[in-house]
Structures are given as C-alpha cells and as structure tokens.
C-alpha cells in the first residue's frame, strides 16, 4: 500500500515578537540572533491560547485540504513537549473539539523529532490495515517553558502548530523510506528542569545536529538508490539556519529548494516541520510528484527523516 499525506494545515499566533523586542528583556542584539541562528522574529501565543487551541486550528486546516470530515479519522497523534497538562492528552482534547468521535487519541513524546515519530507511527497503523486515516499534529506553546531571563535559549523559540492527515495515496506516491533514531545518553544536553524551564547545552546539541541532520537526510535518499540531486524540496527542523544549511549543502541542492520559515517563526520544536511543510504547500513550492525529504532532531536525543513522493 502507498501511504502519504492527504492534507496539511498550520496555525500561527498573531503576536509577533522581534529580535529588537527581546533586546529589552535580555542582554542580546538583533545582529547576534540573526547571524547565529537565522531568526528575525517569532510568534508567541497569548495567555488564553493553549497548545490544544493551536493544534485544533492546524487540524481543521489539514482536514479541509484532505477533503475529509472529522468522523473519518481513526487515530489522532499529537507530538508535543508542551501539552496543556500531563493528562488528558492534547490528542484527546482536540478529538472532542473536532468531533472526531471514531478516533483513538494519544500524544507522542519525541521532542523536536516528534512529528517524524508521529508520521511513521501513523504509517504503521495504516500499513497493517487497522486504520485508514490518521491525523498527525505537531503543536507547541514553548513560551510557557521558556526561561525569559536566559538569553542563550529565550531568543530561539516560538509557538505554533502544524498538522497532516495521513492515508492511502496513488501508485508511486507517499512515504518511500524513513529513519528514526535516539540516543538517550544525550538526554542531559536538552531537557525540562524541575522549574519547568528548557535547559540546553547549545554547543553540544549543535555538534550533534550538524552531523545527524545531514546524515539522516542522505540516508533516506540512499535507501532508495536515488541520487541526492533527485531531491526537489527539503523541509528540515527549523532550529538554526546553520544546521539547516549543512543538510542542504550535503544534498547539493539550491537554496530555493529548502523550507526556511525559521526567519519568521523561530524554532517551534515538534511543530516546525509540519508548519513549514504546510506553508510550502500553500505557497506552491511543493508540486505533485516532487521528491521531498522531511528531517528533524531534538531533545532525547532523537532524530528522524522521511523521503516521500508528494501527491495523492
Ligand atoms: O530544537 C532544539 C534543538 N536545539 C538546537 O538546535 C540548538 C543548537 N545550538 C545552536 O543553535 C547554537 O549553539 C546556539 C544558537 C544556541 C548558540 O550559538 P553558538 O554559535 O553555538 O554560540 P555559543 O553558545 O558558542 O556562544 C557564543 C557567545 C557566548 O559568549 P562568550 O562566551 O563567547 O563571551 C555566549 O554567551 O555568544 C553569547 N551568547 C549571546 N550573545 C548575545 C549566547 N546567547 C546570546 C544571545 N545574545 N542571545
């Protein structure tokens, strides 16, 4: 069976916070943030908007693009490190809001690689014939776990959500190969502390990511016996433009073939890949039959990549 993405959606909070705004709260500057990370601004959700609200709106968009009703969904998987509360899951909250009464629901915890883990989990349920349609969402309100006095992390993150409906697609299309991985020995480099704040050893995570993201990108293409320049579009986790460029350069593809939403949205953890993907689809940057690679990494440490032929 060929299993792929039937529709995508994303949600962005309206509140824009620029690098200059951050200069007023921590000792930083626009030039440092832009040159070290590629970020110019990010969106932050207001007090009354929680992770599930953003997930819900992204899911509605994906259902609409897939031309499916909420009742058609058999399983909801929400990748998040910022659930409204530890339970019930964000997936259960949006199951009710959407009216997806036939869907099982659970959250997936794999940090910034969460959407990749969700996507591949969805594929397994469909491959076995157990389910037909799985809704996979990446949603994060990172602003609620950001230490706003720590300049080494607070300039990096933003809020938002992205979603995809996964199901059967036509011959030759859909997910062609994947790679998932984890290294729990690296847990200490990126985690949530007892005060509910993100703690990150930026240099160590950078060293890991700048090797892993290009490796995984190339691995999923080589599994197919294809050449790197067969890739039409790359959607990497939007963590740092320098890490993203390392993956793009290893593939040897031109700049216009890589999603670059980091400038406007910062790092949205599990939401960054589906947000960038949905935006690229809406902007017409991804066309039918394009070979695309999604690749991410994050706390855990975790990583994942998928090569897929776009289209229904
Ligand atoms: O999705 C989660 C995965 N996380 C990541 O992908 C993060 C991976 N790491 C990175 O992206 C980079 O390591 C950072 C962007 C976090 C930092 O960039 P860097 O080039 O590795 O900088 P650094 O940590 O080596 O720090 C260089 C200098 C330091 O000052 P000294 O020690 O050289 O005097 C920092 O104190 O920059 C200083 N610095 C800042 N200066 C202005 C750190 N943060 C800031 C800041 N503004 N916000």
Output the pTM of the full model: 0.97
pLDDT at 296: 97
194 is catalytic: no
- Ligand 1 neighbour 37 (Cβ under 6 A): yes
- DSSP per-residue string spanning 5-54: EEEEEEE--S-EEEHHHHHTTSS--HHHHHHHH---EEE---TT--HHHH
Ligand 1 atom 5: residue of nearest CA: 239
pLDDT band at 65; cut points 50, 70, 90:
very high
The domains of the chain, with CATH numbers, are 3-168 (3.40.47.10), 174-309 (3.40.47.10)
- Ligand 1 neighbour 152 (Cβ under 6 A): yes
pLDDT at 136: 98
Tokens 């157990």 identify what position? 130
Q: How far is the CA of 147 from the centre of ligand 1 (A)?
A: 15
10 is catalytic: no
CA distance 285 to 242: 22
Catalytic position from the list 112, 133, 154, 268: 112
CA distance 148 to 143: 9
Q: How far is the CA of 234 from the centre of ligand 1 (A)?
A: 25
267 is catalytic: yes
pLDDT tens sequence across 157-210: 999 999 999 999 999 999 999 999 999 999 999 999 999 999 999 999 999 999
pLDDT band at 101; cut points 50, 70, 90:
very high
Check the CA dihedral 67-69-71-75 and report its sign: positive
Ligand 1 atom 20: residue of nearest CA: 36
pLDDT tens sequence across 27-63: 999 999 999 999 999 999 999 999 999 999 999 999 9
pLDDT at 191: 97
The counts of H helices and E strands in the chain are 10, 13
- Ligand 1 neighbour 298 (Cβ under 6 A): yes
Long-range contacts of 19-26 (CB under 8 A, 24+ apart): 19/155, 22/154, 22/155, 25/148, 25/149, 25/154, 26/148, 26/149, 26/150, 26/151, 26/154, 26/155
CA distance 307 to 56: 27
pLDDT band at 18; cut points 50, 70, 90:
very high
pLDDT at 277: 98
Q: How far is the CA of 51 from the centre of ligand 1 (A)?
A: 27
Q: CA of 252: how far to CAs of 86, 132, 234, 289, in Å?
A: 42, 36, 11, 20
């Amino acid at each position: 069976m060929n299993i792929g993405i039937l529709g995508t959606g994303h949600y962005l909070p309206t509140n824009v916070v620029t690098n200059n705004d951050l200069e007023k709260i921590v000792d930083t500057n626009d030039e440092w943030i832009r040159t070290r990370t590629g970020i110019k601004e990010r969106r932050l959700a207001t007090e009354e908007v929680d992770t599930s609200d953003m997930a819900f709106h992204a899911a509605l968009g994906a259902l609409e693009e897939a031309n499916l009703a909420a009742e058609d969904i058999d399983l909801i998987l929400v990748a998040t490190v910022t659930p409204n509360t530890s339970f019930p899951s964000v997936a259960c909250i949006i199951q009710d809001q959407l009216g997806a009464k036939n869907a099982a629901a659970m959250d997936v915890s794999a940090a910034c690689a969460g959407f990749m883990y969700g996507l591949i989990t969805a594929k397994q349920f469909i491959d076995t014939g157990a389910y037909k349609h799985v809704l996979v969402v990446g949603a994060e309100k990172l602003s609620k776990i950001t230490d706003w006095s720590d300049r080494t992390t607070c300039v990096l993150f933003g809020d938002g959500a992205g979603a995809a409906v996964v199901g059967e697609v036509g011959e030759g299309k859909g997910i062609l190969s994947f790679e998932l991985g984890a290294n729990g020995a690296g847990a200490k480099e990126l985690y949530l502390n007892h005060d509910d704040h993100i703690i990150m050893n930026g240099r160590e995570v950078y060293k890991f990511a700048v090797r892993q993201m290009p490796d995984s990108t190339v691995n999923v293409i080589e599994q197919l016996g294809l050449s790197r320049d067969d890739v039409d579009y790359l959607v990497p986790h939007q963590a740092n433009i320098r890490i993203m460029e390392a993956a793009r350069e290893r593939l040897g593809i031109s700049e216009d073939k890589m999603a670059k939403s980091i400038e406007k949205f910062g790092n949205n953890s599990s939401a960054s890949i589906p947000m960038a993907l949905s935006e690229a689809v809406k902007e017409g940057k991804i066309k039918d039959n394009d070979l695309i690679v999604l690749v991410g990494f994050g706390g855990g440490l975790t990583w994942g990549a998928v090569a897929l032929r776009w289209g229904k």
